[in-house]
Structure 1
Amino acid sequence: MTRCSLTLGYVPGGTPAKWARIWAERHPEAPLQLRTLAAADAAAEVRAGIVDVAVLRLPADTSGLSVIPLYEETTVAVVPTDHILTAADEITAADLDGEPVLLPLDNVVAWADAPGDPVHHRPETTSDAIELVAAGVGALIVPQSLARLYHRKDLTYRAIADAPTCPVALAFPEGAQSPLVEEFIGIVRGRKPGSSRGQAQSAPKRTAREKTLAKQAARAAAGKVARKPGRAERGRR
């Protein structure tokens, strides 16, 4: 029998571990191949068939793809541990006014009029930018997962309360999907083993009249039980 598999791509900071574990438990006969994707290339690699499905960041060119929103990440500022911004547990955009801010070429935070003074030299990658933050060149605005991914002892981060969040989504080609892709989508959506798409749908809601009639029937039944005499009472009669 031909062995089949599914390839899941994910951008840096993506967290497919839970779904990969569930997949391995349910489908040991069909390995899940994991592939790290550059954020800028993720959608194109799904369209090209390099990966079957991908966890990517929005906004992105998702033409030809179906997209399922997953979650939205907190946007944070990465700074040295002795930076003045670390005095508070949370900061605002105004706190970054006048602060040198690094903008790597692979930046994934869509924030028009972002605060701070952009550093003229743009590092190639977020990883390169982290090195410059450690050197005291400037702060770096990223999704929280990237701050954790590139964690260093000499750096920390603070959530920016009024910053836009960073959306993360699942993307796959539009149109009919293979059974494996459909199964993975079901896992992401929380379907139980063996459930079908139809079974996953909730039961139709009852009308107000149906609810009223059901309550009346329940009260009538309760009244009959309460009025039914017990054995001792029947004996006294």
Structure 2
Amino acid sequence: MTDSETPPSFRLAYVPGVTPAKWVRIWNERLPEVPLTLVAVPAGEASDLLRDGAADAGFVRLPIDRTDLSAIPLYVETTVVVVPKDHLVAAAEEVSAADLADEIVLHPLDDTLDWERPPGLPANERPATTADAVELVAAGIGLLVVPQSLARLHHRRDLTYRPVADAPGSRVALSWPEEKTTDLVEEFIGIVRGRTVNSTRGRPPTPPQPKGKRADKAGGAQRKPAPGKSSGKASASSGKTSGKSSGKPTGRNPRSGSGGSGSPKGGRRGKPRGRS
């Protein structure tokens, strides 16, 4: 099968913590003939995967290497600190970076928060992944500051998390290779941005459907009068017209004869006067 005969498909990459289910559902409703394949990718490898053509588009965490890639920022996640449930931080509703100054704060190699200087005291070694760092928090080695979706993703019963008010947020974006902005990529951009199916920048609008016959009060279609029969209004109008053309006299009593119009009705004369 040649490339021109290959059925269309769409590959969507996503990094841990991002849930693309809502957009995938809309895609399947609008383009059921184009299968969408999800590709899970570590946050640090997302830009290379898109650049290599292993996915048509992807949800990434900024910052990324933007060389040859387009990106649309979508939202910013709250940043939280993951702690054991019996830690003092768990008693607070919210903390600041200064509150963590005396704590060992783990900084995994796949961290995507754009820190100028990570809070707390550094550990002897950086964990390879966020998942590894969560295990170390459970072991009492230190604390971990991550986007809230990652804290939920790696949830454990013995751990909890609290928002860090002054920490940088994690920015999530939709990205794709700049030179491969295909019609399907444009379609997915429209879905993510909330465009309707009939948007001028989305798929071609649905052609208007022919209108059916109006139903009368009884629920059926209006009937046309049979040939040779006129409607009630037409009969009344015809009657008026025929009345004018029938020569009906106006202003003269037909029984008055030649005596003019002043004679009494029926032509009866008054009583004769007596002679003197």
Q: Determine if the alignment matches structure 1 residue 112 to structure 2 residue 100.
A: no
State the shift of 1:28 in Å.
1.1
Question: AA paired with 1:99?
Answer: E
2:195–2:202: 8 Å Cα contact kept in structure 1?
Answer: no
Alignment match of 1:123 (pick from 106, 123, 127): 127
Quick one: which amino acid aligns to residue 143 of structure 2?
Answer: A
Alignment deviations for residues 55-105 of structure 1 (CA, whole Å, 9 cap, x no partner): 000111111011100000111100001110011111111110110111111
Which of the residues 180, 193, 205 maps onto 2:197? Answer: 193
What secondary structure is seen at the aligned counterpart in 1 of 2:44? coil
In structure 2, the partner of 1:160 is 164
Instruction: Provide the C-alpha distance between the structure 2 equivalents of 1:94 and 1:196, rounded to a whole number of angstroms.
Output: 50
Instruction: Give the CA deviation at 1:194.
Output: 2.6
The equivalent residue for 1:58 is 62
Deviation of 1:198 (Å): 8.7
The aligned residue for residue 215 of structure 1 is: none
The letter for the 1-side match of 2:34 is A
Match of 2:186 in 1: 182
For residue 3 of structure 1, the aligned residue among 2, 7, 26 is: 7
Residue 141 of structure 1: aligned partner: 145
Q: Which has the higher contact order (CA 8 A, sep 6+)?
A: 1
The CA distance in 2 between the partners of 1:179 and 1:87, in whole Å, is 51
Q: Which has the higher helix share?
A: 1
After TM superposition, the structure 1 = structure 2 runs for residues 38-77 of structure 1, keeping only pairs within 5 Å, are: 38-77=42-81
Q: Distance in 1 between matches of 2:52 and 2:200?
A: 29
Moved over 4 A (4+): none
Whole-Å separation in 2 of the counterparts to 1:61 and 1:86: 36
Identity of aligned residues (%): 58
Separation in 1 of the partners of 2:176 and 2:139? 40
Tell me by how many angstroms 1:20 deviates.
Answer: 0.4
- Provide the TM-score with structure 1 as the length reference: 0.81
Structure 1 residue 28 corresponds to structure 2 residue 32: yes
Cα distance, 1:177 vs. partner? 1.9
Q: Runs of 5+ in structure 1 lacking a partner?
A: 200-237
* Deviation sequence 1:138-191 (CA, Å, 0-9, x none): 000101110000001000101001111111101011145221111001101111
Shift of residue 123, structure 1, vs aligned partner: 1.3
Which residues of 2 match residues 77-116 of structure 1 at below 5 A?
Answer: 77-116=81-120
Q: Does 1:170 align with 2:174?
A: yes
Task: State the TM-score, normalizing by the size of structure 2.
Answer: 0.70
User: How big is the shift at 1:197?
Assistant: 2.0
* CA distance in 2 between partners of 1:129 and 1:61 (Å): 25
RMSD (Å) for aligned C-alpha atoms: 1.4
- In the alignment, what sits opposite 2:258? none
The 3 A distance-change label for structure 1 pair 184 and 156 is: same
What count of residue pairs does the alignment treat as equivalent?
199
Mark the CA change 1:198 to 1:10 in structure 2 (over 3 Å): closer, same or farther: closer
Given the superposition, is the C-alpha separation of residues 130 and 186 from structure 1 closer, same or farther in structure 2, using an over 3 Å criterion? same
| Cα distance, 1:109–1:176 mapped onto 2, change above 3 Å | closer
Shift of 1:2: 3.9
Give the strand-richer structure, 1 or 2. Answer: 1
